[in-house]
Each structure stands twice: as C-alpha cells, then as structure tokens.
Amino acid sequence: MIGSGRRDDTVTYTAGLTGSSQVPATGSKGTGTVTATYDAVFWKLTYTATYSGLSGPVTAARFHGLAAAANAPPIVPVPATALADPIKGDATLTDAQAAATSSPAAHTRRVRPSRSSGSTGGVWR
C-alpha cells in the first residue's frame, strides 16, 4: 500500500452482504462480500465486491454513510460501468465522504430495482 508506512494510515473493512442485512431486511437469496481499504494519507477508498444469487443483474452499487439501523444517504457511488462481478474500483474522497466512510458504522449496499427480492447489504467490520 502507498502511504507513510504508519499502521494507522490505512484501514481495511470487510462486510458480508445478505438480504437480512438490508434496512429494512429483504428475503433476497443473494449473497456477497466487500473488502474496502481507506488510505487516510491520499483519501483514497479502494474496494472489491463479489456477489451471487441475485434475482437479476446488478443495477446500482454504492457506499452509504453512518447509520446503524437506518438508511443513510449514499456517499460513494460505484460507476454503472463497473457492476460486473467482481466489482472493483476506487474513489478519492472529499472531506465529508472521508468522515462518513472511515467510520466502522458506515455500511454498503448493492441494490436491485425489486427491493423485496434482490437487494443485499452489509455492515463494515
């Protein structure tokens, strides 16, 4: 990783994605995982997500901000051209995005149009 070499310059988050992790929970059979690394020196979020079992193609993916039991607004969208499995990308964050994304309370969701059958989500750990 690029950085000053100090251990606290980067933080890695992981999340399991399931329908039951959505807010509100869905009956989706879809599952997935997300690994994201935030580099505080360069304000860069790098992520990889894998998924399977969705009821249709992924139509959107995004990282949401702080919210333990509610939906927070999206703060980092994933480009529509990058939704094939595995999803890989990075984003240089603004001040506000960095503050919201660098907290373990932030969460990520992959969303399908049919919320009841196709959405998965997870909380970063």
Q: Give pLDDT tens digits for 103-117.
A: 545 555 544 333 334
Residues 78-84: contacts with CB under 8 Å, at least 24 apart: 78/47, 83/57, 83/58, 83/59
pLDDT lower than 70: segments of the chain: 1-8, 67-70, 101-125
pLDDT at 107: 52
pTM for this model (two decimals): 0.76
pLDDT at 117: 43
